[in-house]
Amino acid sequence: MMNGYTLERLGWRAFFQQQLALDETEHARPARVLTVQRSGITVGDFAGERHIALAKKWFAQPAESRPAIGDWVLLSEQGDAVVRVLERTSVFTRVTAGAKADLQVIAANVDTLFVVTSCNDEFNPSRLERYLALAAEAGVEPVVVLTKADLCDATDRFVDAVHGVRRNVAIECINALDPAAIGGVRAWCRPGQTVAMVGSSGVGKSTLLNSLAEAQKQVTGAIRESDTKGRHTTSHRSLHLLPNGSLLLDSPGMRELKMVDVEQGVSEIFDDIGELALQCRFTNCGHDDEPGCAVRAAIDSGALDERRLHNYRKLLREQARHTDTIAEQRHRSRQFAKQVKRSLAMKDKRR
């Protein structure tokens, strides 16, 4: 639990202060969202932590407009209700797992993203590309954290694989159980900055949180030896204040990260393919069997992994499909809201 802290320690800065109107400066109370439950949120401000139930009006809003973990909200003067959500510096979203395509905010107002993966069979370049595209779209600096280095005799192989995905991405190779070995990771956690962790279950996110916090913040569990996959030990997203004044957002392992609204981020992570495509003979080259295709030539020479081209195409199709689906849902929601408003107006006229 957080007690005795200032708004600045929770990440308050000029960007948020400038959004306040004069009357809000005098009467409203800013607070940071620390956890999100089905019926409400836990917030932190100068008075400490407390649960606040969300009014029904919030559940009539699109998911991306509701208070999410990491958000700054303005509370009523009494501090018992959310008045509004402040504009975000960054936001991570995904389409929820399952058949129904709903938008979900993973985290808001994040400065750095730790993409945590293991030096074992859990490591997956295609999944790593998803996370890095998410960070690129949000304008957040990513750091790839390779855990379980103490159990691997060839960590250089995983470091090279990460560089094959993104040439200049920052990498930290660690044993998360050893506080003395995480100095590089700790250096990314600066006072007033918010760091979020993403990755599969069992890669060591909770262990890393506990080491950075110098306390048992989350329960940890071992991976299964049969398939090197982990069990869920973190049940919900939570924002923790670390001893050095930074904030770390821990989240459950995500079995699926369905992409939405990340076309620019995907293009940035696969900029090597984009640069090659400019050298193709035809501007509309599909990179299949067209003559003069620079992308196919790079694959044939071994300069480009064909898996990478396959995943690039897959992510572009996926994000386009989900973006169109969410856009249609937003349109229907707006139309329904207008109908409700007109219906209420007609009832008022009849009175």
How do the pLDDT tens digits run along the chain, 351 residues long?
455 578 999 999 999 999 999 888 888 899 999 999 888 999 999 888 999 999 988 988 888 899 999 999 999 988 899 999 999 999 998 877 666 667 888 999 999 999 999 999 999 999 999 999 999 999 999 999 999 999 999 999 999 999 999 999 999 999 999 888 899 999 999 999 999 999 988 899 989 999 999 876 654 544 444 444 444 444 478 899 999 999 999 877 566 677 677 889 999 999 999 999 999 999 999 999 899 999 999 999 999 999 999 999 999 988 888 776 666 666 555 555 556 556 656 666 666
At 277 the pLDDT is: 96
At 202 the pLDDT is: 87
Q: Helix H segments across the chain?
A: 14-17, 22-27, 56-59, 125-138, 155-165, 183-187, 205-213, 263-269, 271-277, 294-301, 306-350
The residue type found at 338 is K
Q: Which residues pair with 32 in a beta bridge?
A: 44, 72
Nearest residue to 161 (alpha-carbon basis) of 146, 147, 176: 146
**Residue 119: which residues within 8 A CB-CB, separation 6 or more?**
146, 147, 148, 149, 151, 152, 155, 158, 173
Residues in the chain: 351
Do residues 204 and 148 make contact, with C-beta atoms less than 8 angstroms apart?
Answer: yes
- Neighbouring CB atoms inside 10 A of 87's CB total 14
Do residues 20 and 7 make contact, with C-beta atoms less than 8 angstroms apart?
Answer: no
- Neighbouring CB atoms inside 10 A of 341's CB total 10
At 320 the pLDDT is: 83
At 35 the pLDDT is: 94
d(CA 118, CA 152): 10
Q: Which residues pair with 51 in a beta bridge?
A: 42
Do residues 66 and 54 make contact, with C-beta atoms less than 8 angstroms apart?
Answer: yes
At 59 the pLDDT is: 87
Q: With left for phi above 0 and alpha for psi between -120 and 50, is residue 148 left, alpha or beta?
A: left
d(CA 275, CA 273): 5
The pairing of beta strand 170-173 with beta strand 141-147: parallel
At 47 the pLDDT is: 86
- Please report how many Cα atoms fall inside a 13 Å half-sphere around the Cα of residue 274, on the Cβ side: 10
Phi, psi of 60 (to 5 degrees): -90, -10
Task: Give me the DSSP letters along 4-16.
Answer: S--TGGGT--HHH
Whole-angstrom distance between the N-terminal and C-terminal Cα of the chain? 51
Domains of the chain: 8-87 (2.40.50.140), 92-250 (3.40.50.300), 263-343 (1.10.40.50)
Q: Helix H segments across 107-150?
A: 125-138
Angle ∠(114,120,122) on CA atoms, nearest 5? 65
